[in-house]
Amino acid sequence: MGCVGSLEEGPGLVGARMRGSSCVADAPGAAPLRRITEEQWRGAVDDLLGAGASEGIAFPRAIYRRGYRTDGVIGEISRDGVVALMDAASAIAERSAMTGFPLACAPGPTADDACVLGFIDTLGARAYRRPLRDAERATLRALYADLRLDSLTETESLTGVVEAILGAPQFNYLTSDVEDLQDGAIRLDDHALAERLSFFLWNEPPDGALRQAAADGQLHTREEVDAAARRMVSDPRTSHMLGGFVEDWLELHRARGMAKDNATYPTWSTGLSTSVANEHYAFVDEVFLRGGARLQTLLGSNYAVVDEELASLYETTSTGRASLPRERRGLLTFSGFLAGHAGATESAPVLRGVSILRQVLCEDMELPRGLVVTSPPQDPSRSTRERFTAHRELPECASCHDRIDPIGFAFEDFDAVGGHRSVDEHGHAVDARTEVRNARGTFEVSASGGASVADALAESPVVRTCFARQVLNYAEAREVGRGGDSEMDECALAQITAPFEASGGDVRELLVAIATSDAFMTRRIR
């Protein structure tokens, strides 16, 4: 299994075709122009002007598409978003002027002072993450001269230049240059690859080593990129990026600040909901940095990383890295997923089922047109499961709910805040037995309880392939395989899945495989 052909020796950049489960030729990605995310923007601002430079400055609210904030940046920025971005640029530049710009010399009074011009060139290149082009340099220098001639001081004028740099698309977008177009695809140059790598793996602009490699022209071949990526994935910044990915992938942000019915769940507090909303970062760090970094562990671990409130909810005997009771295994049995996919007063088996099918098994889960989403009416005489089972008697519901509900029902042993239970909110015994089968019949399990389903998912090759697709979606900020060229995307997917499989599900290998894939290193042009 794997792709035949490569960037260096292939017949051309375009034309990948699947042959059986393999593909021939290369599979450049379709990653279009995209804006950096809030986290990346803060990283870039702080890198440019010093730690804390972006602190407390509002950034346009993130847009989630299909759950991913990275996808959101593909979309068009709104008018208010642009205003907020420019206001942020102004506020940051002014604050930086007050604390002092990182100047290496004292600016002189003239509009073409050598110290100032040198500073503008250096800052511009760092901000744009590559050497300035002539037109860009001319714009920034002329702006400084205009401001000086308009009787603004050196500091005010430099503030204006910094503001313009922070507002420029070269700072705010990841782009690809048509000058690198060849045979219908753009081979990203060293600088573009450096910024893709660092924003993908670290949510930050390139560090000194990456910048140097790019400047020396040593970030171009697959081997060079492979070496750079391997250095980066062992860093905690990659683990933090992965924590953010997991949050989006399993829609854990839903749990952040979520309200629960006080009478039913008196233990749910601001403190607990905050712990729940942040738990996955500590857990991913543990698995990724110290626990072998395997997907199986993320989904099937017998431990969690808990504070006192979570320890109480999970019934562990200690805090920190703590062993879990048998009925709890991995991320899908943590409160972030379970409480986020639940109502205020009761569990929500349909939400849990849909989320797992769509995000973990990569099943198509579009809402039918015109569907009105409702919960079955409250009825204390029946269990949650009994109430939800009723809708499957209707043929128009059953076609989807026959797939959705069995997975959701397996997690009925967890209440709306993620506490384990044997009776539901109305005192009915919980029935968490289930027979799960996905649409293609590639995943089947007969189990009882969320932990058993989580265990099965953790071991499934279907889930590994799906995970690879999801991480590629995240890295590429798009839905791989959608729209035209889906065959080429499937080929790219095969290219990255193979080493992931071969490593036994090591997520670090997956990240390196993505970074060195055709899809990541090249951009096809329609």
Partner 1 sequence: MTIERHRTGAFVAGRRAFLAGVGGTILALPFLESIHGPARAAPGVPRRFIVWQQGQGTQWDQWARAGASETDFTLGPILQPLAEYRDRLALFHGIDNRASKTTDGDGHTSAQKSVLCASPNSGAASIDQLVWDRIHSEGQRSPLHLAVGPTARIGRFLSAANAPTESVGDPRAVWDSTFASFTVPDDVAARRRRRRGRSLDGVRESFAALRARIPAEDRDRLDRHAAHLDEVETRLRTSVVCAPPTQPATYDAVADWTRASEDMFDLTIANFACNLSPVVTIEWTNDHDPALFAPYLGGYSNWHEMVHSGEAMRGIVGLRDGYRFYTERFARLLDKLRMTPEPMGDGTMLDHTLILMAADLGYGAGHNKNSILAALAGTLGSGVPMGRLLRFADPEDLWTESEWCTNNLYTSILHAFGATDVGHVGFTDPSVRMGPIPRLVG
Among residues 40, 157, 434, 522, which is the contact residue for partner 1, using CB under 8 A? 157
DSSP-assigned letter for residue 347: B
| Three-class secondary structure assignment of 176-226 | CCHHHEECCEEECCHHHHHHHHHHHHHCCCCCHHHHHHHHCCCCCCHHHHH
**425: which 2 tokens?**
């909110």
Nearer to partner 1, 150 or 435 (CB): 150
- Residue 172 or 517 with smaller CB distance to partner 1: 172
Determine the interface stretch with partner 1 among 156-164, 350-358, 387-395, 407-415 (rule: CB under 8 A).
156-164
Binding residue (CB under 8 A) for partner 1 from 24, 46, 65, 170? 170
Residues 79-108 that bind partner 1 (CB under 8 A): 79, 81-83, 86-87, 89-90
- Is residue 324 within 8 Å of residue 330, measured between CB atoms? no
The 10 Å Cβ neighbour count of residue 113 is 18
Element (H, E) at 79: helix 79-99
User: Distance (Å, rounded) from C-alpha 104 to C-alpha 214?
Assistant: 24
Beta carbon of residue 182, minimum distance to partner 1 (angstroms, whole number): 13
Binding segment for partner 1 (CB under 8 A), chosen from 170-178, 271-279, 345-353, 411-419, is: 170-178
Q: Under rule CB under 8 A, which residues in 58-77 are in contact with partner 1?
A: 76-77
Minimum distance from residue 495 beta carbon to partner 1 (Å): 23
318 exposure class (CB count in 10 Å sphere: 0-12, 13-18, 19+): exposed
* Contact pick of 160, 205, 349, 449 for partner 1 (by CB under 8 A): 160
Question: What's the closest the beta carbon of residue 215 comes to partner 1, in angstroms?
Answer: 20
- Report the distance separating Cα 505 and Cα 525, nearest Å: 32
**Beta carbon nearer to partner 1, 176 or 278:** 176
DSSP state of 346: S
Q: What's the min distance (Å) between Cβ of 74 and partner 1? A: 8
With H, G, I as helix, E, B as strand and everything else as coil, classify residue 331. Answer: helix
- d(CA 27, CA 5) in angstroms, rounded, equals 10
* Long-range CB contacts (within 8 A, 24+) of 397-403: 400/365, 400/368, 401/350, 403/353, 403/357, 403/363, 403/437, 403/438, 403/439
User: Minimum distance from CB of 167 to partner 1 (Å)?
Assistant: 4
Measure the CA–CA gap between 55 and 41, rounded to whole angstroms.
11
**Smallest gap, in angstroms, from Cβ of residue 89 to partner 1?**
8
The answer to whether residue 161 forms part of the interface with partner 1 (CB under 8 A) is: yes
Point out which span in 176-184, 319-327, 336-344, 494-502 binds partner 1 (CB under 8 A). Answer: 176-184
Nearer to partner 1, 19 or 79 (CB): 79
Span near partner 1 by CB under 8 A; candidates 5-13, 333-341, 446-454, 518-526: 518-526
Rounded to 5°, angle at Cα 197 from 196 and 199: 65
Q: How far is the CB of 8 from partner 1 (least distance, A)?
A: 23
CB 3 → partner 1: shortest distance, Å? 24
Would you call 126 helix, strand, or coil by DSSP?
helix
Query: In terms of CB distance, is 146 or 402 closer to partner 1?
Result: 146
Of the candidate residues 40, 159, 347, 355, the single one contacting partner 1 (CB under 8 A): 159
Rounded to a whole number of angstroms, the minimum distance from the CB of residue 179 to partner 1 is 7
Instruction: Give the relative orientation of helices 222-233 and 236-249 as an angle to the nearest 10 degrees.
Output: 90
Among 146, 308, 315, 379, binds partner 1 (CB under 8 A): 146
Tell me how many residues contact partner 1 (CB under 8 A): 53
Q: Kindly identify the residues of this chain, within the stretch 270-309, that bind partner 1 according to CB under 8 A.
A: none
- Alpha-carbon distance of 176 to 89, in angstroms, equals 24
In this structure, what token pair is assigned to residue 301? Answer: 């671990």
Q: Which of residues 106-145 bind partner 1 (CB under 8 A)?
A: 111-112, 117, 133, 135-136, 138-143, 145
CB closer to partner 1 out of 86 and 365: 86
Per-residue x/- track, 20-49, partner 1 (CB under 8 A): ------------xx----------------
Q: CB-wise, 163 or 195, nearer to partner 1?
A: 163
Residue 306, beta-bridge partner list: 320
Tokens of residue 410, six digits? 């397996």
Shortest Å, Cβ 90 to partner 1: 6
Range 195-214, binding partner 1 (CB under 8 A): none
Binding residue (CB under 8 A) for partner 1 from 179, 216, 364, 393? 179
Distance of CA 486 to CAs 17, 335, 482, 483, Å?
A: 10, 36, 6, 6
CA distance 418 to 331: 11
CB nearer to partner 1: pick between 112 and 308: 112
The residue range among 177-185, 274-282, 345-353, 491-499 that interacts with partner 1, by the rule CB under 8 A, is 177-185
- The string of DSSP letters for 148-167 reads HHTT--HHHHHHHHHHHHHH
From 150, 172, 168, 155, select the one nearest 95 (Cα to Cα).
155
SS (H, E, C) 359-416: HHCCCCCCCCCCCCCCCCCCCCCCCHHHHHHHHHHCHHHHHHHHHHHHHHHHHHHECC
Cβ closer to partner 1: 416 or 519? 519
Residue 114 beta carbon to partner 1: minimum distance, rounded to whole angstroms: 8
CB of 127 to partner 1, least distance (A): 11
User: Using CB under 8 A as the criterion, which residues of the chain lie in contact with partner 1 when the complex forms?
Assistant: 32-33, 76-79, 81-83, 86-87, 89-90, 111-112, 117, 133, 135-136, 138-143, 145-147, 150-152, 156-157, 159-161, 163-164, 167-170, 173, 175-179, 181, 186, 523, 525-526
